[in-house]
Amino acid sequence: MAREKAKDPTELAVDVKLKNLYSLQTMLSEIDAIKTLRGELPLEVQDLEDEIEGLTTRVGKMLDQVEHLRSEMMNRKSVIEKNKLDLARFEEQINNVRNNREYDSLTKEIEYLQLDNQLNEKKIREAQEEIERLQEKTRSSNAELSERRADLDLKKSELDEIIQDTRSEEEKLRERAKNVELTIDSRLLSAFKRIRKNARNGLGIVYVQRDACGGCFNKIPPQRQLDVRMHKKIIVCEYCGRILIDPELAGVELNKPVVEEKPRRRRGTTGRRKGAE
């Protein structure tokens, strides 16, 4: 026997479309409930990962700065050693000058080299102090980094445990939801997903309850409620834009409000009292 060809979703009756859409919403709501079990853990894990990345980058920059300062110190020490050699040579030459001009010229060179050495030594001291400061900050950042990594491992462990417990159920729901999506025409499905994305509670289709929208709880006019019950076309809430479905079609039993019976008023009591008197 030949396999029956699946119906085109666009050719389905409105009531069937609404049933399929509500069925999809139910599954997606269950998936949302599973995600809620994870609480803020995914966000906390992401924040910790971002913080660790920032700390790692900061430590790397400080280490690079330390290496740069050390290289600069080595260069300045080399300049000082070279200046000392030149100073020794100039001091030897100054004893053999032939005139005042040569003496003044050598004296200026010696003074310049001495000042240059003093400047380089000052810069070396400053660089050494900066290196010590950066090393202290690096130690502090590394300690903080270790704490954050420990926190991340703990949070990831908790999250993985929750995901492991709910993975099977979530995968089944997602598979069923995909199958239901195949029974809904693309335009309606796209509109539903857009509404659901913008809705705070993730509801794209809701049933009418107590003459109001089940999403935003605004009152729905009687004529519009009648249109919803007729299932002739897709009706949306004029306030929040959610798709509306009749509770009976959605398979939802609403508790009818209990009307309290007013106590009957007793008549003739006053007249009988007056007659007795």
The answer on 245 and 131 residing in a single domain is no
The answer on 209 and 159 residing in a single domain is no
Rounded to two decimals, what is the model's pTM?
A: 0.54
Residue 210 lies in a domain: yes
Question: What is the pLDDT of the chain when averaged over all its residues?
Answer: 87
pLDDT for the residue 5: 53
The answer on 84 and 59 residing in a single domain is yes
Q: What is the DSSP string of 154-165?
A: HHHHHHHHHHHH
Please tell me which residue, 164 or 255, carries the higher pLDDT value: 164
Residue 190 lies in a domain: yes
Q: Residue 213's beta-bridge partner residues?
A: 208
Amino acid (1-letter code) at residue 10 = T
The answer on 59 and 162 residing in a single domain is yes
d(CA 8, CA 5) in angstroms, rounded, equals 9
d(CA 108, CA 256) in angstroms, rounded, equals 107
Residue 17 lies in a domain: yes
* N-to-C CA span, the chain: 96
Instruction: Give residues with Cβ within 8 angstroms of 64, minimum separation 6.
Output: none
Domain boundary among 119, 154, 179: 179
Are the beta carbons of 204 and 216 closer than 8 angstroms? no
d(CA 179, CA 196) in angstroms, rounded, equals 19
Task: Summarize pLDDT for 132-182 with one digit per residue, the tens.
Answer: 999 999 999 999 999 999 999 999 998 888 888 788 888 899 999 999 999
14 has a pLDDT exceeding 50: yes
The answer on 239 and 140 residing in a single domain is no
Q: How many structural domains comprise the chain? A: 2
The answer on 195 and 92 residing in a single domain is no
The tokens for 101 are 């001009």
The answer on 148 and 95 residing in a single domain is yes
The tokens for 220 are 């729905």
Residue 202 lies in a domain: yes
Residue 265 lies in a domain: no
User: At 131, which CATH number?
Assistant: 1.10.287.1490
Q: Residue 236's beta-bridge partner residues?
A: 243
pLDDT above 70: percentage of residues in the chain: 89
* Number of C-beta neighbours around residue 162 at 10 A: 17
Amino acid (1-letter code) at residue 93 = Q
Are the beta carbons of 211 and 203 closer than 8 angstroms? no
Domain housing 125: 39-179
The answer on 149 and 137 residing in a single domain is yes
Q: Residue 208's beta-bridge partner residues?
A: 213
Task: Summarize pLDDT for 191-222 with one digit per residue, the tens.
Answer: 999 999 888 888 999 999 989 999 999 999 99
- HSE, CB side, 13 Å, CA atoms: give it for residue 210: 7
